[in-house]
Copies of this chain bind each other. A is one copy, B any other.
Amino acid sequence: MPVQRRNTKQRTLVLDAVRNRCDHPTAEEIYLDVRSRDDKISRATVYRNLRLLEQTHAITCVKAPGGDRFDLRLDAHCHVVCTECGAVIDATVPYDAEADASVAQATGYAIASHSTIFEGLCPACQAEAHAK
């Protein structure tokens, strides 16, 4: 675990790739995006940088079925994930900062944050389910 960070071309590319997307890409999608700008970069580097940027709080990751999704960290917000196709979108519910303090008090954990994930069928998958 290095303490000092360097600004490599690859690290910048990974961060930019996350910045340039509004959906919530998987590591693989980030890899493909970055790959189109630098066809030498390896998956390992993308994964290493995603973890590093996450630890730095430059980006956040949403644990969705079928792999983590990454997201630019602007403000804390919730996510909605489709139980059928796995699509992830942002939710419009305010972040309840008070809950963190309350849970910390009750459990003794040092709560850093919380994430809420709503699960359900997206409109497209609802339509498909009806079609059967």
Contact = CB atoms under 8 A, between A and B. Distances in A.
Contacts of A121: 109-110, 112
B119 A111 contact: yes
Given A99-B93, A100-B118, A83 B112 contact: yes
Interface residues of A, number: 34
Contacts of A115: 116-117, 119
B109 A122 contact: yes
A83 to B, nearest CB: 7
Contacts of A107: 80, 89, 91-92
Interface in A84-128: 89, 91-93, 99-100, 102-104, 106-123, 126
Interface string A12-25: 00000000000000
A63 interface: yes
A113 B117 CA distance: 9
A112 B125 CA distance: 14
A123 B109 contact: yes
Q: Which 9 A-B pairs have the closest CB atoms?
A: A111-B120, A114-B118, A109-B120, A110-B121, A116-B116, A108-B123, A92-B106, A110-B120, A112-B120
